[in-house]
Amino acid sequence: MTRKRNGISWWMVALNGVILAILAFKTWACLADPSLLFGQAAAYDPAHVGALRELAGRNLAMMALGLLAWLRPSPAAYLSVFAVAFVRETSDMGIVAFGGGPPLEAASFPPFLLLYLLSISRLVVFERSSHVDDGRRQ
């Protein structure tokens, strides 16, 4: 597997790019046209405005973390991105699955969760091995 000089695989960088693209679309949709995500009922209901702004804010915070990892790549930065993404996807899957959402939508979460777990495990192994190597050199 091809690695960058700092131990981050190309597919992890690509996964971060996909996360950023999805978050950018969802943030834009929350702020500009909520009907793209939640249907016509949510788009014009004033009760949903606060929740939509909160979701957009969370997405912006996660986008900032993803951009930081992309601009200053390090295993710790990517580990942070994937850990936060894993927690968010898990909670979203639970909301959809137990909130009466469509089964097909709930089924779209596990592939991403598996990729996040694979990324996290590889980054942790890389970090541990780099610390072991540093100890041997001294």
Q: What is the pLDDT of residue 53?
A: 86
Token digits of residue 106: 């709930």
pLDDT averaged over 10-residue windows placed end to end, the chain, 138 residues: 70 94 92 78 69 88 95 91 93 81 79 92 84 55
Using CB atoms within 10 A of its CB, is residue 2 exposed (0-12), middle (13-18) or buried (19+)?
exposed
What pLDDT was estimated at residue 43?
59
Token pair belonging to 119: 């990324």
Per-residue pLDDT, 20: 96
Residue boundaries of the structural domains of the chain? 10-137
Q: Where are the beta strands (DSSP E) in 19-103?
A: none
Phi then psi for residue 9, to 5 deg, are -70, 155
Terminal-residue alpha carbon distance, the chain: 29
Other C-beta atoms within 10 Å of 88: how many? 17
pLDDT at 134: 53
